[in-house]
Amino acid sequence: MSRVFNFSAGPAVLPEEVLKEAAAEMLDYNGTGMSVMEMSHRSKAYQEIIQTAEKDLRDLMNIPDNYKVLFLQGGASQQFAMIPMNLMKNKVADYIITGQWAKKAFKEAQMYGKARAVASSEDKTFSYIPDCSDLDIDDDADYVYICENNTIYGTKFKTLPNTKGKTLVADVSSCFLSEPVDVSKYGVIYGGVQKNVGPAGVVIVIIREDLITEDTLDGTPTMLKYKIHADNDSLYNTPPAYGIYICGKVFKWLKKMGGLGAMKEHNEKKAAILYDYLDQSKLFKGTVVKEDRSLMNVPFVTGDEELDAKFVKEAKAAGFENLKGHRSVGGMRASIYNAMPIEGVEKLVDFMKKFEAENVK
């Protein structure tokens, strides 16, 4: 068996240790004589799995007691609707548009109320984060929305926007658990776990309790109400049980690695290897402004589409998978999430150097 270095943006690389553990427990989880996939979500064994997962996540992120942790389905995209349906009491919300995911969320919110785009970086293909220190926030805004790490474009908010006292809602799908966060600065933090935390099928929503109310927009389906999931500890209906179990293992792995502070150091070191090389390469260059660079998603180009395609093809043959950029940007993108070992980035850079030597005349 040989595993490739998988630079996919998502679903993405998971810690090998976690996959091995799950494999060992596949037929008989902890003496139950069955797989986690086969057990009732109301069983004692499963209760312990979901409760331990929540507790470990709370420890890792230092989540204050007045926040609920919800394990839901529907992906990050379902939150694009759940957020306005549950939070738009005044039917006004301000969105900061830093990429396709923020734009999709914004468009969805427009279906339910007055969603306003208060800042955007679309003028330069989302290659930077706009200045959000003094935005024209609506006095009636129910919340201000950001996509904190832009998976497709490779930018990240290094400072949070000044929301002028309004609730901040953040999609952190592609930077979830990559570094410490101050949860108390947000009303809602959410992410699809398939980028940096676990298998597709689970979305984690961390939400301040006062934002969870009965007062949702007319016609909000039961399954799209935060309150129903909060009141039932994410077990109103059958949750994405196996996915939550794997997330729980990743939380344990992160704790063993030293927690989110240690993860941040590790991620900075890893990203620097790639960015330092890009900054001096005569062939490849990064596509976003330096100060807004993501630690997780690193897009780069040669400036020549044919050469980009040749690189992706040769890289694949050498064991570096999924380096093709998103269809809306072109070029390449290396997603280097928590579980990507430093060795993977070092070897990629060695390969890029070799490719550069062979292709720069």
Ligand X SMILES: *Cc1c(COP(=O)(O)O)cnc(C)c1O
Q: Which residues are annotated as a binding site for pyridoxal 5'-phosphate?
A: 76-77, 101, 151, 171, 194, 237-238
Decide if residue 174 touches ligand X (CB under 6 A). Answer: yes
Nearer to ligand X, 155 or 302 (CB): 155
Backbone angles phi and psi of 188, in degrees to 5: -135, 130
Among the residues of 32-139, which ranges form H helices? Answer: 44-61, 75-87, 100-110
What's the half-sphere exposure (Cβ side, CA atoms, 13 Å) at 354? 10
Candidate segments 49-57, 85-93, 171-179, 271-279, binder of ligand X by CB under 6 A: 171-179
Q: Which of 68, 195, 249, 252 binds ligand X (CB under 6 A)?
A: 195
Give the burial class of 31: count Cβ atoms within 10 A of its Cβ; 0-12 exposed, 13-18 middle, 19 or more buried: exposed
How far apart are CB 9 and ligand X at their closest, in Å? 7
Give dist(CA 82, CA 192) in Å, integer: 14
How far from 326 is each of 75, 144, 249, CA to CA, in Å? 19, 27, 29
| Distance spanning both ends of the chain, measured CA to CA | 38
Is 20 one of the annotated active-site residues of the chain?
no
User: Which one of 121-129, 160-168, 169-177, 323-331 is the stretch in contact with ligand X (CB under 6 A)?
Assistant: 169-177
Q: Is 253 a catalytic residue?
A: no
- Give the interface segment with ligand X, choosing from 170-178, 227-235, 242-250, 326-334 (CB under 6 A): 170-178
Q: DSSP 3-state assignment of 208?
A: strand
Binding of residue 266 to ligand X (CB under 6 A):
no
171 in catalytic set: yes
Given 101, 227, 249, 270, the catalytic residue:
101
The residue with tokens 């570094």 is: 179
Chain CA centroid to CA 229, Å? 21
77 touches ligand X by CB under 6 A = yes
Strands 114-120 and 92-97, bridge-based pairing: parallel
- Going by the annotation, the residues of the binding site are 42, 76-77, 101, 151, 171, 194, 237-238
Binding mask 18-47 for ligand X (x = CB under 6 A): ------------------------------
Q: Is 202 in the site for ligand X (CB under 6 A)?
A: no
Residues serving a catalytic function are 101, 171, 195
The residues that touch ligand X, with contacts defined as CB under 6 A, are: 10, 75-77, 101, 147, 151, 171, 173-174, 192, 195
